[in-house]
Chain A
Amino acid sequence: MKQFLQHRAATLPTIGAVVIFVAMIAYGEIAYGRILQFSTLSNLLINNAHLVILAVGLTFVIVTGGIDLSVGAVIAFTSVTGVLLANAGWNPWLVMVLMVVIGGAFGLASGILVEYFGVQPFIATLAMMFLARGLASTLSTNPERLADDSPIRLIAAEWKLVDGPKVNDLILTPGVLIAAIVVLGAWFVLHRTRLGRTVYAIGGSEPSALLMGLPVWRTKVWVYVISGTLAGVAAVVYTARLGIAQNITGIGWELDAIAAVVIGGTLLTGGVGYVAGSVVGALVLGLMIVLITRDGKIPPEMTTIITGGIVLVFVLLQRGLSVVRRNP
């Protein structure tokens, strides 16, 4: 048993996140009812697909010990660009690819600033956050509505898998499918490729990774590119679902994504973390919104405070644990 715990110590926080998620569902079901049913769970997935994708991207960066504060703003810029171009008559499929590429380009810029020019990750990505947000405002400060017949909306087309009684249907969208593919892809990269293992090695100890002869520089640029690219993907999924893009879209989403990642058991100091944990973390946040709405007594303005509080609590827990581990 002890050995099992030792082997699995790193997964414990992730298991903890699953426990929290299940407990929240149970509480919601008992207190408000109609949580554990197809429609609620479908909506949970559909409404949080973009957050799952963001959190997965951020997991890469945070596991190396870095941070990407630009993701929310990158979503704003790519989605405004996307909607404007699509409405201007560009090929919608090309537009979607372009959105993803633009996201990747922002990530590349952050990565180069961090790795090549030695700018601290939070400064570099903060600058990118201002830049992306500013560019988005340059394009438009009004909500830009995607044409109702735009093929981009296909990403949010609803597939009714189970036709339940009343509106209790099991529904999936291509957006959810994309999120699932991103999750599986990320799992493959992190656990079955040298790139992924280098990501963990860097987070464990960057000097060690360098001395072991691993391609540290290249890998660190890659993680920012991955994070930016996935922000682009998240923008596609989100825009398709909402049909509206605005320069103030995604304010504070970097905090949501960070929250999802740390709830899922990834250490903010790097080295430890799982994609699956971040997925659960994102769903915990999504479920929290559902419960707050159902409850109705907590003003919706409290959500960012609660999210912020959750981040602080988890970061404090992580700090406490690492202190305990160092001085057993």
Chain B
Amino acid sequence: MTEPVVEMRGISIEFPGVKALDGVDFRLFPGEVHSLMGENGAGKSTLIKALTGVYPIDAGEIRIAGEIRRLNGTADARNAGIATVYQEVNLCANLSIGENVMLGQEPRSALGIRWKALHAAAHAALERLGLGALDPRAPLSSLSLAVQQLVAIARAVQRESKVLILDEPTSSLDANEVANLFRVIRRLRDEGVAILFVSHFLDQVYAISDRMTILRNGRYEGEFLTKDLDRTALISTMIGKDADALRSIAARRARHDGEPQVVLSATDLGRKGSIAPTDVDLHRGEVVGLAGLLGSGRTELARLLYGADRADTGSIIRAGKRADLRSPRAAMRSRIAYSSENRRDEGIIRDLTVRENLILGLQTKRGWARPIPRREQDELVQKYIGELGIRPADPERPIKQLSGGNQQKVLLGRWLATQPEILILDEPTRGIDIGAKAEIQGAVAALAERGVTVVFISSELEEVVRLSDRILVLKDRRKIAELVNGEHVTADTIVAVIAEDAATAHEETEA
């Protein structure tokens, strides 16, 4: 076997309070497509940023073509022959195709940029990827996102890169476009370029990659040849089983007796580009889990139920009446609450105190003219600080000074204070410590006992299975199964459902 072109050993990166990477190894050979696998927060993007010089490493070493390199900044990585194409197309839509390929590398003479030579060079780079039909003079905005993605790759390889990192390049492409992209990737691979591929679409990973490295919670879980690792094994390695610390609340929740009472019923609820039309029924006092990998459409579905995004198909019947949830305010009036997965940008209001963050939901529900009296505020805050175990128990501290887990508890408190009948929690336990996690799970179970309907979204299937009465499984932006929880349902069952669907989908494309 040849020498690896990239070899990373014992890489650790620490952020304040979080060990994002902990002794991770990774290697990449010329002429291979290597997938980096892991769930949200596993450390994939941190590892990529270490390799592209965005983050300095705290420990470990990076060898490129056998030499130890210190990568301080993206320029270093570029000079070492590492090129990156990101999920969002990072080109300038206002410029021509050719310019996007050549920006910063324009051929020049005394009279400035030589546009003819520039377009010729761009044409050559595109030709190499089989995109010779594109006119380099046409504006980039005339191309579909998929072709723009290919132009970004042309830009990357135009610099004779040895390593090409593709970070979620397929997340907005359709099947044909993916096939096109893969043709280009294979072509480059055959030319000896080492390709690091990241995608949450399992079928694609299996279709394109030769080798995989799996990360979980910032740790290295192993390197496998794709042909040696079946889907079930892959998913369970990615997801892991962290049953130990959480056993305390593992007691399965009691089954409900009697006829389930429907509180919300959505029919054909969908939005172009985020989730296919989907039916959802929610019952009183039940926990409904939305399971699926990152990008499966779970967050998108939740946002439609809350009116955070507007649905373009379908309708919602809420408590027997047709409800028009066109904004979060409308949803709040229907007693629906939603806690976003993006705690930092869509959850907490950084500069405000714990108290203010906590009462904000109730306050907007009541309206500006009916301020919550200070005494009531204090009571509410004391109640939730106690019930949810928010630490430090100081209501006047700015929320940005709290740990992630405690911020999450404050947000949970914000929504509980509005006394919702339906509470949607999107990844409430992501990136928080195990103690806080158990407390939040406990709170969810208690809520359902009191008759609140909870929609629970999590990347950790164990958690979803433990808490939910019913589980909707999503994949590739559509619902693929609905399971009633019971003795027979485990994380493995869901893994199997996702994997099987992947297998069938794969067979379909093969056929």
A–B direct touch in complex (beta carbons closer than 8 A): yes
Near A by CB (< 8 A), chain B positions 93-109 give 93-95, 99, 103-104, 106, 108
Task: Evaluate contact between A192 and B111: CB separation under 8 angstroms.
Answer: yes
Task: Evaluate contact between B93 and A205: CB separation under 8 angstroms.
Answer: yes
Q: Is A288 an interface residue (CB 8 A)?
A: no
Q: Is B92 an interface residue (CB 8 A)?
A: yes
Task: Evaluate contact between A200 and B94: CB separation under 8 angstroms.
Answer: yes
Q: Is B493 an interface residue (CB 8 A)?
A: no
Separation of A211 and B77 alpha carbons in the complex (Å): 12
| Shortest CB distance B149–A (Å) | 13
Task: Evaluate contact between A10 and B113: CB separation under 8 angstroms.
Answer: no
Specify which chain A residues have a CB less than 8 angstroms from the CB of B95 in the assembled complex. 197, 200-201, 204
Task: Evaluate contact between A192 and B112: CB separation under 8 angstroms.
Answer: yes
Separation of A213 and B92 alpha carbons in the complex (Å): 13
| Shortest CB distance B86–A (Å) | 7
Specify which chain B residues have a CB less than 8 angstroms from the CB of A211 in the assembled complex. 74, 84, 86, 90
Task: Evaluate contact between A204 and B92: CB separation under 8 angstroms.
Answer: yes
Q: Is B137 an interface residue (CB 8 A)?
A: yes
Task: Evaluate contact between B113 and A193: CB separation under 8 angstroms.
Answer: yes
Q: Is A272 an interface residue (CB 8 A)?
A: yes
Query: Total A-B pairs in contact (CB under 8 Å)?
Result: 69
Q: Is B327 an interface residue (CB 8 A)?
A: no
Separation of A192 and B139 alpha carbons in the complex (Å): 18
Near A by CB (< 8 A), chain B positions 132-180 give 137-139, 141-142, 155
Specify which chain A residues have a CB less than 8 angstroms from the CB of B91 in the assembled complex. 205, 208, 212
- Across the interface, B104 reaches (CB within 8 A) one of A191, A192, A200, A212, namely A212
| Shortest CB distance B114–A (Å) | 9
- Across the interface, B92 reaches (CB within 8 A) one of A10, A193, A205, namely A205
Task: Evaluate contact between A197 and B113: CB separation under 8 angstroms.
Answer: yes
Task: Evaluate contact between A194 and B106: CB separation under 8 angstroms.
Answer: yes
| Shortest CB distance B110–A (Å) | 10
Separation of A194 and B92 alpha carbons in the complex (Å): 15
Q: Is B484 an interface residue (CB 8 A)?
A: no
Q: Is B75 an interface residue (CB 8 A)?
A: yes
If A197-B99, A203-B94 touch, does A214 touch B86 (CB 8 Å cutoff)? no
Task: Evaluate contact between A208 and B139: CB separation under 8 angstroms.
Answer: no
Task: Evaluate contact between A197 and B138: CB separation under 8 angstroms.
Answer: no
Specify which chain A residues have a CB less than 8 angstroms from the CB of B142 in the assembled complex. 6
If A193-B112, A193-B113 touch, does A10 touch B139 (CB 8 Å cutoff)? yes
Task: Evaluate contact between A209 and B112: CB separation under 8 angstroms.
Answer: no
Task: Evaluate contact between A213 and B75: CB separation under 8 angstroms.
Answer: yes
Q: Is A57 an interface residue (CB 8 A)?
A: no
A205-242 toward B: CB 8 Å interface, digit per residue (1/0)?
10111011110000000000000000000000000000
Task: Evaluate contact between A271 and B74: CB separation under 8 angstroms.
Answer: no
The number of residues on chain A lying at the interface, defined by a beta carbon within 8 Å of a beta carbon of chain B, is 26
Separation of A267 and B72 alpha carbons in the complex (Å): 36
The number of residues on chain B lying at the interface, defined by a beta carbon within 8 Å of a beta carbon of chain A, is 25
Task: Evaluate contact between B104 and A213: CB separation under 8 angstroms.
Answer: yes
If A208-B90, A211-B74 touch, does A7 touch B113 (CB 8 Å cutoff)? no
| Shortest CB distance A209–B (Å) | 7
Separation of A207 and B99 alpha carbons in the complex (Å): 17
Specify which chain B residues have a CB less than 8 angstroms from the CB of A201 in the assembled complex. 92, 95, 103
Q: From B140, which residue of chain A is reached at the shortest CB distance? A: A204
Q: Is B326 an interface residue (CB 8 A)?
A: no
Separation of A209 and B99 alpha carbons in the complex (Å): 12
| Shortest CB distance A25–B (Å) | 31
Specify which chain B residues have a CB less than 8 angstroms from the CB of A90 in the assembled complex. none
Task: Evaluate contact between B94 and A272: CB separation under 8 angstroms.
Answer: yes
Task: Evaluate contact between A204 and B94: CB separation under 8 angstroms.
Answer: yes
Specify which chain B residues have a CB less than 8 angstroms from the CB of A208 in the assembled complex. 90-92
If A6-B142, A212-B103, A213-B78 touch, does A204 touch B93 (CB 8 Å cutoff)? yes
| Shortest CB distance B154–A (Å) | 13
Separation of A207 and B87 alpha carbons in the complex (Å): 13
Separation of A44 and B91 alpha carbons in the complex (Å): 41
A1-25 toward B: CB 8 Å interface, digit per residue (1/0)?
0010011011000000000000000
Task: Evaluate contact between B112 and A188: CB separation under 8 angstroms.
Answer: yes
Specify which chain B residues have a CB less than 8 angstroms from the CB of A3 in the assembled complex. 138
If A6-B142, A10-B94, A271-B94 touch, does A214 touch B113 (CB 8 Å cutoff)? no
- Across the interface, A7 reaches (CB within 8 A) one of B84, B99, B106, B139, namely B139
Near B by CB (< 8 A), chain A positions 42-90 give none
Specify which chain B residues have a CB less than 8 angstroms from the CB of A10 in the assembled complex. 94, 139
Specify which chain A residues have a CB less than 8 angstroms from the CB of B93 in the assembled complex. 204-205
22 contacts between A and B (CB under 8 A): A3-B138, A6-B138, A6-B142, A9-B141, A10-B139, A188-B112, A191-B113, A194-B108, A197-B99, A197-B103, A198-B103, A201-B103, A204-B92, A204-B93, A205-B90, A207-B90, A208-B90, A208-B91, A211-B74, A211-B84, A211-B90, A271-B92
> Interface of B with A (CB < 8 Å)?
74-75, 78, 84, 86, 90-95, 99, 103-104, 106, 108, 111-113, 137-139, 141-142, 155
Q: Can you list the 8 inter-chain pairs with the closest CB atoms, starting with the nearest?
A: A192-B112, A204-B92, A204-B94, A271-B94, A208-B90, A211-B90, A201-B92, A6-B142
Known: A200-B94, A213-B104, A271-B92. 19 other contacts (CB 8 A): A6-B139, A7-B139, A9-B139, A9-B141, A10-B139, A191-B113, A192-B111, A192-B113, A194-B106, A198-B103, A198-B104, A204-B94, A205-B90, A208-B90, A209-B103, A211-B84, A212-B103, A214-B103, A271-B94
